[in-house]
């Protein structure tokens, strides 16, 4: 290897390595959250897998450990302040710190406000938006004591524009972006960066569930979802790479940003 090649490799490691860092990812049992957890672990982070689905959370953790990484699965309903506190306490007891928090848990119910029940509204807002608040409230004090950290909230293209038959989801994801900005302002002085990734349609069980809710043909639904400049739907890895960027030293002067990762859908 040439001297220049070694310098390039060393620089890449400096910018992207998460070695020695501790991450928490919600909604990490499947879909985008699982992709994020696997990516962060691959880059060296110990990853706490938070999800209401304890069985699948264990499967994600087992996959990380089989690849040589470190992980702990934790059953956590992000709507519950007690669950959030318990999850954070468990990670602190085991690792002593939390460097990265990715708030990915979310629920999509495809209804307009006339058809949407109050319970459905509460479910979407509580999981998708309130969950960010509850878990961040527990994590931020530990980040302050540790000298900083990175929080990445998962929004949506519909954080920035409206969408059909998705009133509660649009409200929750729109709130996630502005909550991100407020947190970035409040905690910049603590060396805590807070950013938001806004995905377009990503090939996950949640997207398939949306198709079923709307009663549409899956093939036609996916063709429409791919109708964007890059002519495909996203993958969990597409979103995970953006989260890695925002968690890593590459984004050391970025906070309060909403990074759109949607194949050009909003262009």
Please tell me what DSSP assigns to residue 214. H
Question: Domains in the chain: how many in total?
Answer: 1
* Percent of the chain's residues with pLDDT above 90: 94
203: closest CA among 232, 168, 160, 175? 232
Return the beta strands (E) in 127-175 as ranges.
149-154
How distant is the alpha carbon of residue 235 from its chain centre? 13
Edge to edge, what strands does the sheet with 192-199 contain?
71-75, 46-51, 22-26, 100-103, 149-154, 192-199, 258-261
Residue 169 is among the residues annotated as catalytic for this protein: yes
Tell me how far apart the alpha carbons of residues 221 and 113 are, in angstroms, rounded to a whole number: 23
Note the pLDDT of residue 4: 81
The CATH number covering residue 121 comes to: 3.40.50.720
Tell me how far apart the alpha carbons of residues 41 and 214 are, in angstroms, rounded to a whole number: 35
Note the pLDDT of residue 6: 80
Asked whether residue 1 is assigned to any structural domain, the reply reads no
Over residues 127-170, the pLDDT tens digits come to 999 999 999 999 999 999 999 999 999 999 999 999 999 999 99
Q: List the catalytic residue out of 169, 233, 248, 259.
A: 169
Note the pLDDT of residue 100: 99
Over residues 24-62, the pLDDT tens digits come to 999 999 999 999 999 999 999 999 999 999 999 999 999
Asked whether residue 247 is assigned to any structural domain, the reply reads yes
Question: Which structural domain, as residue segments, surrounds residue 231?
Answer: 10-261
Asked whether residue 4 is assigned to any structural domain, the reply reads no
Are the CB atoms for 210 and 106 separated by under 8 Å? no
Q: 247 is written with which tokens?
A: 């968690």
Work out the pLDDT band at 3, boundaries 50, 70, 90. confident
């Amino acid at each position: 290897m040439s001297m220049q090649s070694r310098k390039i490799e060393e620089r890449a490691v400096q910018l992207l390595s998460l070695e020695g860092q501790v991450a928490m990812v919600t909604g990490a049992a499947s879909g985008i959250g699982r992709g994020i957890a696997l990516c962060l672990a691959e880059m060296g982070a110990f990853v706490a897998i938070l999800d209401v689905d304890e069985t699948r959370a264990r499967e994600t953790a087992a996959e990380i450990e089989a690849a040589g990484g470190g992980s702990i699965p934790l059953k956590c309903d992000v709507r519950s302040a007690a669950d959030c506190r318990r999850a954070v306490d468990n990670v602190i007891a085991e690792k002593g710190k939390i460097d990265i928090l990715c708030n990915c848990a979310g629920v999509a119910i495809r209804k307009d406000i006339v058809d949407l029940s109050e319970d459905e509204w509460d479910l979407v807002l509580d999981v998708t938006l309130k969950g960010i608040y509850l878990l961040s409230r527990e994590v931020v004090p530990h980040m302050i004591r540790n000298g900083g950290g990175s929080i990445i909230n998962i929004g949506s293209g519909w954080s920035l524009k409206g969408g059909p038959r998705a009133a509660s989801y649009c409200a929750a994801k729109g709130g996630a972006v502005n909550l991100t900005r407020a947190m970035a302002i409040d905690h910049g002085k603590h060396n805590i960066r807070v950013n938001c990734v806004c995905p377009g349609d990503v090939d996950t069980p949640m997207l398939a569930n949306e198709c079923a809710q709307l009663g549409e043909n899956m093939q036609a639904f996916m063709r429409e979802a791919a109708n964007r400049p890059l002519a495909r739907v996203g993958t969990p890895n597409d979103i995970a790479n953006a989260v890695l960027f925002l968690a890593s030293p590459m984004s050391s002067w970025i906070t309060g940003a909403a990074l759109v990762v949607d194949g050009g859908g909003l262009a």
